[in-house]
Homo-oligomer: A and B are copies of this chain.
Amino acid sequence: MQRCDMLGALSDEPDRLTRQFAGDSMRRAHEQVGKWMQEAGLVVRNDNIGNLRGRYEGTTAGDPTLLLGSHLDSVRDAGKYDGPLGVVVAIAAVQALHDAKRRLPFAIEVLAFADEEGLRFSSTYLGSRAVAGSFDFADLDRSDAKGITMAEAIRAFGGDPARIDEDRWRQGKVLGYCEVHIEQGPVLEARGLPVGVVTAIAGQARYSITFKGEAGHAGTVPMRSRRDALAAAAEFVLAVEADALSQDGVVATVGQLEVEPGAANVVPGEVKLTLDIRHADDEIRIERARRILERAQEIGKRRSIDVVTHPTSENPSVACAPRLVSLLAKAIEESGHPVLHLASGAGHDVVPMSAITDVAMLFVRCQGGISHNPAESVEVEDVGVSIEVLTRFLELLAKA
């Protein structure tokens, strides 16, 4: 907790926590985390993209490696735990081995990723994509708000953008990648549980939907003559909510909605909105989306409103490895807590990492499910449980 407080004080902005990729506060975070890694017996190095990596060897050279970690960057005006908690908990688990002078039959590498949130360059997972070998070199030309390109930022941070390919995992066999992270949702809190095992990262699709009716004078066009785009959109918003409520685990959100012309005395002529729909099972998600988009057309037809739907992004779900999930569940049980399996509605570094190895995640309860906000809060006892579970997980994996 103290360590999260210390990292929370390292910000690019004076009065709030904003720690962007390859910035000054990230450099200070590296100095700090690097010291903690060394104290825990980890051998520290920086890679080209700007990840901080700490390696704790196994009993024999040539042992496979288990990867642990999370990210050190944040959103703007962030909380202290989204990301850093996973790094700090991983270091604490290794510290316990180091203090006990224990080596396991595998090496452990703690990865503190340089960018997951994508604040600076609107490009996510830069750190884990470099490790997974899916870094997109075209991104190097992206500029931040000050006009600095990603290539320049990486060079200023000490990396060589031309050699990001070398960041790709090449250190032999990997047992998996396991990440501890705050839940960012209210489920554990509602169930009264300190931690939970993630079964999958929900697949996610986004759509842009336009309702085109006819603008008109709010005083002179009678109700029955209207083709009000907002009334149609409102029906759709409620249909989305009702449909998502009808199937467990589906979340569907209309987060953006813009009205044209948007004047108090004009009947709305056009509404543009976004639909975001997620579920751990891609088939269920696709079927729900099909039904919801069909409903949009029905509403449009009934109201003489043109409805144009346009898919804007789609990310399939990522399943956690059953073997690692059951070891995490066993570790929770052994720690004396009930086991709850849940899906993650948010994306995490496990998504790109799943391309090169088995992945697993342990969620830690957070207050009110609040994240991406200074009000982000976790209990010290819950963090203690997560360290204990991760430590037991390492022991179970060693015995497996």
Contact = CB atoms under 8 A, between A and B. Distances in A.
A259 B256 contact: yes
Contact of A346 (B219, B252, B344): B219
B369 A220 contact: yes
A188 to B, nearest CB: 11
Given A219-B278, A222-B187, A371-B217, A228 B256 contact: no
B237 A253 contact: no
For A186, A222, A266, A274, the residue with the greatest tally of chain B CB atoms inside 10 Å of its CB is A222
A26 interface: no
Nearest to A231: B241
A6 interface: no
Nearest to A247: B223
A244 interface: yes
B245 A219 contact: no
Contacts of A251: 218-223
A241 B303 CA distance: 13
28 contacts: A184-B217, A185-B221, A190-B225, A202-B219, A204-B219, A216-B370, A218-B278, A218-B345, A219-B251, A219-B344, A220-B251, A220-B344, A220-B346, A220-B369, A220-B371, A223-B252, A228-B253, A230-B237, A230-B255, A231-B237, A234-B235, A254-B268, A255-B264, A255-B268, A256-B259, A256-B262, A257-B268, A265-B276
Contacts of A222: 185-187, 251
A276 B266 CA distance: 9
A184 B234 contact: no
A291 to B, nearest CB: 15
Q: How large is the interface on A (under 10, 10 to 19, 20 to 34, 35 or more residues)?
A: 35 or more
A255 B266 contact: yes
A267 interface: yes
Nearest to A189: B225
Nearest to A245: B223
Contact of A244 (B183, B223, B346): B223
Interface string A247-288: 000111111110100111111100000101010000000000
Contacts of A225: 185-186, 190, 369
Interface of A: 183-187, 190, 202, 204, 206, 216-225, 228, 230-231, 233-235, 237-238, 241, 244-245, 250-257, 259, 262-268, 274, 276, 278, 344-347, 369-372
A302 to B, nearest CB: 13
A183 B225 CA distance: 14
Given A186-B221, A220-B345, A224-B245, 18 more contacts: A185-B217, A185-B225, A202-B219, A204-B219, A206-B264, A217-B371, A217-B372, A218-B255, A218-B345, A220-B344, A220-B346, A221-B251, A223-B250, A225-B369, A230-B254, A234-B237, A255-B267, A257-B268
Nearest to A216: B369
Contact of A234 (B223, B234, B255, B347): B234
Contact of A230 (B257, B267, B347): B257
A204 B217 CA distance: 13
A291 B233 CA distance: 23
8 smallest beta-carbon distances between A and B, as pairs = A219-B345, A185-B220, A234-B237, A234-B234, A218-B253, A264-B274, A220-B345, A219-B346
A63 to B, nearest CB: 36
Given A185-B220, A221-B186, A267 B238 contact: no
A263 B256 contact: yes
A168 to B, nearest CB: 28
Nearest to A182: B220
Contacts of A263: 255-256
Tell me which of A234, A244, A268 has the highest count of chain B C-beta atoms within 10 A of its own C-beta. A234
A265 B27 CA distance: 29
